[in-house]
Amino acid sequence: MSNRYTLNYWPIPFRGQFIRYVLAHAGQDWAEPGPEAVDALRVAPVGDQPLPMMAPPMLHDAEADVWLSQMPAILSYLARQHGLMPEDSRRAALTDKVVADCNDVLDEMTQSGGKRMWDQESWDAYAEDRLPRWLAIFEETGRAHGLTREGGTILGTEQPVLADLATACLWATMTEKLPPLARIVEDHAPAVLYLSRRIAARGPIAAMRAEQDAKNGAEVWCGGQIEASLREVLGA
Amino acid sequence: MSNRYTLNYWPIPFRGQFIRYVLAHAGQDWAEPGPEAVDALRVAPVGDQPLPMMAPPMLHDAEADVWLSQMPAILSYLARQHGLMPEDSRRAALTDKVVADCNDVLDEMTQSGGKRMWDQESWDAYAEDRLPRWLAIFEETGRAHGLTREGGTILGTEQPVLADLATACLWATMTEKLPPLARIVEDHAPAVLYLSRRIAARGPIAAMRAEQDAKNGAEVWCGGQIEASLREVLGA
C-alpha cells in the first residue's frame, strides 16, 4: 500500500524536520521524493504547481488530496489530523504562537535563507542578545506552565503535543547538528534542552532520526554556505 | 464598558493592520495603548511579560484572559472566535498557508525588519523575480478557486473570511501607502488587487482605516529607514 503522506523537502533537517517529527510521532509512514523532484516542484510555474507556493516544505495528503506548503500551516494541519492540537482554544493559539516562534528562530539562525553570511562580529552580537532572548522565551513559556527538568503542563506534558514536538525539533536538532550551540542553550534554557532531548530520544522519533542520518548524512543542518559560515563562527 | 480586546502595536499599519482588519470586520471594538506602552512591553524581561514574546503585535483578549503574540497565531485565534475560519480542515489549512505567505511577503518587503536597506539594484532584482512570483501565487490561488475580477470561492467569497481579509490587508495597504507598487500588483495579480480594494472599502474596514489615518498619519506603512529606502527605490 502506498503512504498517505508525501513530504517534498530536501534531504536536510531544517524546516522539513519539524514535519518529520510530527509524522513519526503520529505513527505515519511517508514518502520523500529525491531533491531533483523537490527542486522541480519549487521552480515550476505557479500554474503548474499542485498548490501555488514559493518554497518547500510541501506536503501531500493523498487520503484527503490536500496539498500544503508553509511549515506552520502543515504542522497545524497534521496536528489536527492526528490529535496533537489542544482542543482548548487558548492552548491551541499558544501552540500556533510557539510554532511561529520556532519558524522565526530558523529564519534568524540562517539570516533568512542565507541573505547574508555570519561573521564573528554579527554572530557574537546575536549570541549575546536575540538568541538568549529566544531561549528565555521558550524557557519561560515552559516555566509559566510548570515545566521543570522533569516535565510540565504545556511543554513537557506526559503525552507530547505539537508545541512540544516543534520546540524539541528546534533545539534538539540544532544542538545535535551544531554541538557548540548546546552550551548556549543549556545556559539559558536548561529545562527546554532536556525536554527537547527526551522527545528526540522517543522511539519513533529516534528511529526516524537514525534513518535520516544514515540516508542523508549526520552532519548537515540547513546546508549551503550559510551553514558553513555558522560552523565557522561557532568553531564547530 | 471596556473593550474585550487590546492590541499592543505601534501606530503604523504593517503587521498590526491585519489584526485591525479582522477586528473591524468582526465588529469588535478594541483599545490600542500608545507606543511607549508597546515599547515597554516589548523590552520587558520575558518573566515580566504577560506572555513571553519577542515582538508586537501582542493581543489581549480580556474576556478569555488570553495573551497572544505572533500575527499568524493572533489571526487564527480571532478567526476561530468570530466565525472567520472555514470549518473544513482543507480550507482551514489553506487559510493558514495564505496567512503565512502574507507574513513572508512583509518580511521580504522590509528585508526582515530593515536588516538591510533597499538600493535600486536589490529592489529591481526583487521586483523582477520574487515579488511577481508572490503575486502570481496569490492570483493563482484565487483563480484555482474561481476568483475573477468579480468574485470567487476561496478568495473573494460573498462573505470574506480570514484568507480574504489577510490577502486584502496585504495588497490594499501596500498599494495605498506605496502607490507606485499598484502598477506591479495590477500587472501580476489584477483579480487579487480588485478583491483587496473591494474588501478595504467595506464599511467597518473603511471606517477603521480612516480613523487610523487620521490618528497616525496616512503616509506611513512600516516606518523607519527601511520605509524610506523603499520609497526611494519606488520613486514614491
| B174-186 per-position pLDDT tens digit | 999 999 999 999 9
Q: Give the 3-state secondary structure percentages of chain B, helix then strand then coil, rounded to 5.
A: 60, 5, 35
Residue range of the domain that includes A9: 5-81
The predicted pLDDT at position A148 comes to 58
Cβ distance of A137 and B64 shorter than 8 Å: no
The predicted pLDDT at position A8 comes to 98
pTM comes to 0.96
Please compute the mean of the pLDDT values over residues A9-32 and round it to a whole number. Answer: 97
Nearest C-alpha neighbor of A71 from the set A91, A47, A101, A46 = A101
Clarify whether residues A123 and A197 are in a common domain.
yes
Grid cell 503512504 is found at A3
The predicted pLDDT at position A213 comes to 95
Domain count, chain B: 2
The predicted pLDDT at position A156 comes to 65
Clarify whether residues B74 and B104 are in a common domain.
no
Clarify whether residues A18 and A115 are in a common domain.
no
Gap between the Cα atoms of B234 and B236, Å rounded: 5
Kindly indicate the confidence band of residue B147, based on its pLDDT and cuts at 50, 70 and 90.
Answer: low
Residue A160: DSSP 8-state: -
Q: Are A213 and A5 in contact (CB under 8 A)?
A: no
Share of chain B above pLDDT 70, in %: 94
The predicted pLDDT at position B149 comes to 54
Question: Which of 135-154 (A) contact B at CB < 8 A?
Answer: 136-138, 140-141, 144
> What's phi and psi for A82, nearest 5 deg?
-120, 25
- Residue A122, chain B, CB below 8 Å: the answer is no
Clarify whether residues A147 and A223 are in a common domain.
yes
Please compute the mean of the pLDDT values over residues A13-18 and round it to a whole number. Answer: 98
B73-97 pLDDT tens trace: 999 999 999 999 999 899 999 999 9
Clarify whether residues A97 and A116 are in a common domain.
yes
Cβ distance of B137 and A52 shorter than 8 Å: yes
Clarify whether residues B104 and B171 are in a common domain.
yes
> What's phi and psi for A149, nearest 5 deg?
-65, -15
Check which CATH number belongs to the domain holding B223 and give it. 1.20.1050.10
Strand partners, B68: B59
A117-154 pLDDT tens trace: 999 999 999 999 999 999 999 999 988 766 655 555 55
Clarify whether residues B72 and B115 are in a common domain.
no
Clarify whether residues A140 and A64 are in a common domain.
no
Domain boundary among A65, A81, A97: A81
Assess whether pLDDT exceeds 70 at residue A68: yes
A182-217 pLDDT tens trace: 999 999 999 999 999 999 999 999 999 999 999 998
Q: Are A78 and A26 in contact (CB under 8 A)?
A: yes
Domain boundary among B32, B52, B81: B81
Clarify whether residues B143 and B160 are in a common domain.
yes
Share of chain A above pLDDT 90, in %: 86
Assess whether pLDDT exceeds 70 at residue B1: no
User: Which residues 6+ apart lie within 8 Å of B150 measured at CB?
Assistant: B156
Cβ distance of A137 and B66 shorter than 8 Å: no
Domain boundary among B81, B99, B125: B81
Among A94-98, A144-148, A151-155, B205-209, whose mean pLDDT is lowest? A151-155
By the 10 Å C-beta count (0-12 exposed, 13-18 middle, 19+ buried), A152 is classed as buried
Check which CATH number belongs to the domain holding B72 and give it. 3.40.30.10
Q: Give the orientation angle of helix A89-109 with respect to helix A130-144, to 10 degrees.
A: 160
The predicted pLDDT at position B157 comes to 65
The predicted pLDDT at position A236 comes to 77
Q: Are A93 and B66 in contact (CB under 8 A)?
A: yes
Clarify whether residues A12 and A122 are in a common domain.
no
Clarify whether residues B141 and B188 are in a common domain.
yes
- The terminus-to-terminus CA distance of chain B in angstroms comes to 43
Task: Look up the ipTM and state it.
Answer: 0.95
Kindly indicate the confidence band of residue B2, based on its pLDDT and cuts at 50, 70 and 90.
Answer: confident
The three three-digit cell numbers of residue B89, written as one number: 480542515
- Residue A53, chain B, CB below 8 Å: the answer is yes
Cβ distance of A54 and B104 shorter than 8 Å: yes
**Which of B107, B111, B136 comes nearest A52 by C-beta?**
B136
Q: Are A95 and A79 in contact (CB under 8 A)?
A: yes
Clarify whether residues B55 and B120 are in a common domain.
no
